[in-house]
């Protein structure tokens, strides 16, 4: 591990200022469950680590007229327990599926959203594009956990965030602060992620000196139901092979609006307009849920060892839809 300065700001503007020194060669530390490993492996080698855990304004969950503001430092346990988040059932389902009390008590929502990919080539120092001598190691090598959608470009890792699909399905936005001390913007989470085209690009729109301070969720309507379905190999701590989250607005048994988002299948959380438009204006049946799953993976381009993920992703979409409609009074 390379030596670094350590800073512990108490205010957002102070955190942004500290992140902007050293030409932005700095890193944000939240729960540290992933960043510490990246530092130990020299995959992150910042001049300064900025520990944001004492920035009070980035903690807590509050209700405003247009929705809920969730501090980026909210832990997974808080996601599970907070009464204001109860209507967002899919979020609780994702938090619950972690099956690891250490991660649930110290991992944060901001840290999950900015979690670097688990691609083993990236984790072994070959960068996000996993290139060696101008060749993609993923294409010619071991790619069973890699992308099946959005993988025609140079990026073939899968986005690691477990909460992003559920949050995007709910129409969440993120408040980004920096690089100026008082600068901030609110961006739909759907547009936060990037599939990098070159080695010097990251996997989010965050520029050096910027960080997420809050996540915004629209106020839920009583007609809205949501669910997440993650396919995990282990009963304990594990990363999904594929996942799907849905949010349906159902009135008198008819889907008025739908959002379907897949996780762990592409370099970005994968919004499936095809699946959503198939559901709109319809009454959900198991056959329709199955058809929406098929539509969601219709454009899949699996790599040499991951065709199996297509079937898993298809089923995850179907089961997430059926799990969501289970919450409707009277079921289907
Ligand atoms: C041994 C181990 C195994 C794990 N295995 C799994 C697993 O199998 N499945 C699983 O789902 N999770 C796993 N995790 C949990 C994972 O680390 C979580 O996703 C956690 O929520 C990350 O949150 P954190 O606050 O600890 O992030 P940190 O480690 O503090 O940060 C993660 C990344 O996000 C950046 N960051 C953090 N907060 C912000 C912010 N507000 N704005 C901008 N950037 C930010 C950091 O710079 C860093 O790059 C594991 C953790 C450990 C220690």
Q: Is the pLDDT of residue 61 over 80?
A: yes
Where do the H-state alpha helices sit in the chain?
12-20, 35-40, 76-81, 89-96, 101-106, 109-113, 120-123, 137-140, 164-169, 273-279, 286-296, 308-325
What is the mean pLDDT of the segment spanning 59-72? 96
Query: Is 0.95 topped by the overall pTM?
Result: yes
Of residues 329 and 154, which shows the higher confidence score? 154
Residue closest by Cα to atom 47 of ligand 1: 28
Q: What is the pLDDT of residues 91-101, one digit of tens each?
A: 999 999 888 88
What's the CA gap between 190 and 168, in Å, rounded? 6
Q: What pLDDT is recorded for position 98?
A: 83
**Res. 317 pLDDT band, cuts 50 70 90:** very high
**Does the pLDDT at position 234 exceed 90?**
no
Which pLDDT value is given to residue 235? 81
Q: What is the mean pLDDT of residues 170-174?
A: 98
Q: Which of 4, 40, 111 to mutate to test the pocket of ligand 1 (most atoms within 8 A of CB)?
A: 111
115 alpha carbon – ligand 1 mean position (Å): 5
Confidence band, pLDDT 50/70/90 cuts, at residue 237: confident
Distance 103 CA to ligand 1 centre (A): 8
DSSP state letters, 131-161: EETTEEHHHHS--TTS-SSS-SSS-------
Q: Is the CB of 57 under 6 A from ligand 1?
A: no
Residue 151's pLDDT band, with cuts at 50, 70 and 90, is very high
Position 75 scores a pLDDT of: 95
Taking the CA atoms of residue 156, residue 161, residue 167 and residue 256 in that order, the dihedral angle to the nearest 10 degrees is 40
Confirm or reject: Cβ of 162 under 6 Å from ligand 1. Answer: yes
- Cα-Cα-Cα-Cα dihedral sign, residues 138, 27, 78, 188: negative
Question: What distance in Å separates the CA atoms of residue 189 and residue 171, rounded to the nearest whole number?
Answer: 8
pLDDT of residue 332: 61
Query: Are residues 156 and 309 in contact, defined by beta-carbon separation less than 8 angstroms?
Result: no
Question: Is any ligand 1 atom within 6 A of the Cβ of residue 9?
Answer: no
Q: What is the pLDDT of residues 111-133, one digit of tens each?
A: 999 999 999 999 999 999 999 99
Average pLDDT over the chain, rounded to an integer: 96
pLDDT of 330 reads 65
- Going by the DSSP 8-state scheme, the letter that residue 280 receives in this structure is T
Percent of the chain with pLDDT over 70: 99
28 CA from centroid of ligand 1 (Å): 11
Q: Which pair of structure tokens corresponds to residue 266?
A: 């592409």
Tell me the average pLDDT across 55-79.
Answer: 96
Q: Is 17 helix (H, G, I), strand (E, B) or coil?
A: helix
* Å from CA of 256 to ligand 1 middle: 35
204: pLDDT confidence band, cut at 50, 70 and 90?
very high
| pLDDT at res. 102 | 87
- The DSSP string of 153-203 is SS-------SSHHHHHHTT-EEEEE-SSTT-EEEEEGGGTB---SSTT--S
pLDDT value, residue 329? 73
Residue 239's pLDDT is what?
A: 93
Q: Residue 236: what pLDDT?
A: 80
pLDDT attached to residue 328: 84
The pick from 24, 29, 30 for probing ligand 1's pocket by mutation, whose C-beta has the most ligand atoms within 8 angstroms, reads 30
CB-ligand 1 contact for 212 (6 Å cutoff): yes
Spatial separation of the C-alpha atoms in residues 315 and 124, rounded to whole Å: 32
- 270 band by pLDDT with thresholds 50, 70 and 90: very high
Average pLDDT over residues 85-93: 97
Atom number, ligand 1, closest to the C-alpha of residue 113: 34
Tell me the chain's radius of gyration from C-alpha atoms.
20
CB 205 within 8 A of CB 164: no
pLDDT band at 162 (very low <50, low <70, confident <90, very high): very high
Taking 80 as the threshold, does the pLDDT of residue 230 lie above it? yes
Q: Which residue do the tokens 């503007």 mark?
A: 13
Q: Where are the beta strands (DSSP E) in 10-66?
A: 26-29, 48-51, 61-64
Q: Whose CA is nearest to atom 43 of ligand 1?
A: 211
pLDDT, mean of residues 77-105: 92
Does the beta carbon of 55 lie inside 6 Å of ligand 1? no
């Amino acid at each position: 591990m390379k030596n670094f300065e350590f800073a512990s700001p108490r205010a957002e503007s102070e955190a942004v200022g500290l992140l902007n020194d050293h030409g932005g060669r700095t890193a944000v530390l939240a729960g540290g469950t992933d960043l510490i490993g990246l530092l130990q492996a020299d995959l992150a080698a910042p001049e300064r680590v900025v520990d944001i855990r004492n920035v009070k304004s980035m903690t807590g969950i509050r209700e405003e007229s247009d929705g809920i503001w969730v501090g980026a430092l909210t832990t997974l346990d808080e996601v599970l327990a907070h009464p204001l988040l109860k209507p967002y059932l899919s979020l609780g389902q994702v938090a619950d599926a972690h099956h690891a009390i250490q991660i649930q008590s110290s991992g944060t929502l901001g840290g999950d959203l900015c979690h670097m990919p688990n691609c083993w080539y990236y984790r072994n120092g070959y960068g996000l594009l996993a290139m060696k001598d101008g060749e993609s190691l993923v294409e010619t090598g071991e790619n069973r956990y890699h992308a099946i959608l959005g993988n025609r470009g140079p990026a073939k890792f899968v986005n690691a965030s477990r909460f992003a699909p559920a949050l995007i399905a709910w129409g969440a936005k993120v408040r980004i602060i920096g690089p100026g001390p008082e600068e901030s913007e609110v961006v739909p989470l759907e547009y936060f992620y990037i599939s990098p085209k070159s080695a010097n690009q990251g996997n989010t729109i965050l520029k050096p000196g910027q960080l997420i301070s809050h996540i915004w969720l629209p106020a839920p309507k009583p007609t809205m139901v949501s669910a997440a379905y993650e396919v995990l190999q282990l009963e304990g701590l594990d990363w999904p092979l594929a996942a799907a989250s849905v949010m349906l607005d159902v009135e008198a048994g008819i889907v008025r609006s739908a959002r379907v988002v897949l996780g762990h299948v592409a370099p970005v959380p994968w919004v499936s307009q095809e699946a959503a438009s198939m559901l709109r204006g319809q009454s959900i049946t198991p056959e329709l849920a199955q058809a929406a799953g098929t539509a969601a993976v219709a454009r899949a381009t699996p790599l040499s060892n991951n065709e199996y993920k297509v079937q898993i992703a298809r089923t995850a979409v179907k089961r997430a839809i059926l799990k969501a409609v289970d919450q409707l009074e009277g079921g289907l």
